[in-house]
Amino acid sequence: MRHVLTIAGTDPTTGAGAQADLKTIGTLGAYGFSVITAVVSQNTQGVRAIHQIPAFHVREQLDAIDADCRVDAVKIGMLGTPQVARAVSLWLTEHSGDFPVVLDPVLVATSGHRLARNGVLEALRGLLAHADIVTPNIPELAALCAKDPAVTFADACAQGQKLAATYGTSVVVKGGHLTDTCLDDGHVRDALIPRDAPVHVLSSPRLKTKNTHGTGCALATALATYLAQSSDLDTVAAFGAARQWLQRAIRHADDLAIGRGHGPINHFVAPAVPD
């Protein structure tokens, strides 16, 4: 069994953050480790409070895993402060090339609550050099590129290509929130922009549900898990499998009926098989 480490904040409803990541990892057949960066008091209606874990203690958690366990892939989510981001960056520098790294540059929650303090954006740019795949949403992609948020899928892909070229990483452009992504047949597009290959675009039916809490966490974690499980699995195959599983998790989200706001996706749907 492969081992996947998530570095992330928490969610008491387990729809997002480290708890949701562990569900994703387990569902997809790997064993999950977690390093907690912040204790977030939130539910399906929004974020209520954040307790930030000090950077030295984040590093202590990483060192504890290092001293005892093998890591086959890493997913990075909410970091919260530039100090934590730099601590994680230093740890990754010491493990350069040891495992694939998927970075979900969390800046703002779905509810609109800021999840990162001043200075985190610049620290995130420093982390990009360690990431094999980056999975920003549209505002995060724009912030990393120092641009205004894209309003078309083509503009978002152009920003993704700029980010990939600048930092030598693959970028996932998520088109779900763009007004032009719904095609004539009711499909939505996402793109994988590899650092050394053509752009790979996938489309699927737009699913009508309000229960999409944690989709960003789930996609990034699924990517890391699929990459951990096969040394010869390329990013295109991992992206396709992760996206296929996520579509099913969203399709069955309403089965859970969690909370009165934007509920979580259903992390327990069967995994996809990479092509």
Q: Is 162 known to be catalytic?
A: no
- Say what the pTM is: 0.94
187-193 and 170-174 beta bridge pairing = antiparallel
Residue 122 is encoded by which pair of tokens? Answer: 């610049």
Going along the chain from its start, the domains and CATH numbers come out as: 3-255 (3.40.1190.20)
Q: Is 174 known to be catalytic?
A: yes
Q: Using CA atoms, how far apart are residues 88 and 84, in angstroms rounded to an integer?
A: 6
pLDDT means over runs of 10, the chain (275 residues)? 97 97 97 97 93 97 97 96 95 95 82 62 90 94 91 92 94 82 72 88 89 95 95 85 95 94 95 71
Q: Is 135 known to be catalytic?
A: no
Please, are residues 42 and 109 in contact by the beta-carbon 8 Å criterion?
yes
pLDDT score at 108: 62
Q: Is 216 known to be catalytic?
A: yes
- What are the pLDDT digits (tens) for 67-105? 999 999 999 999 989 999 999 999 999 999 999 999 999
- Count, residues in the chain: 275
Q: Is 176 known to be catalytic?
A: no
Given 6, 215, 225, 235, the catalytic residue:
215
Q: Is 212 known to be catalytic?
A: yes
Q: Using CA atoms, how far apart are residues 25 and 91, in angstroms rounded to an integer?
A: 22
Measuring CA to CA, which residue among 7, 23, 27, 18 is closest to residue 73?
A: 7
Measuring CA to CA, which residue among 13, 6, 74 is closest to residue 213?
A: 13
Q: Using CA atoms, how far apart are residues 22 and 30, in angstroms rounded to an integer?
A: 9
Q: At what angle do helices 215-228 and 235-251 cross, to 10 degrees?
A: 140
The burial of 149, by beta-carbon neighbours within 10 Å (0-12 exposed, 13-18 middle, 19 or more buried), is given as middle
Question: Hey, what's the torsion of the CAs at 270, 272, 239, 96, to 10 degrees?
Answer: 80
pLDDT score at 178: 78
Given 17, 80, 145, 217, the catalytic residue:
217
Given 13, 216, 235, 263, the catalytic residue:
216
Give the number of other CB atoms < 10 A from CB of residue 269. Answer: 18
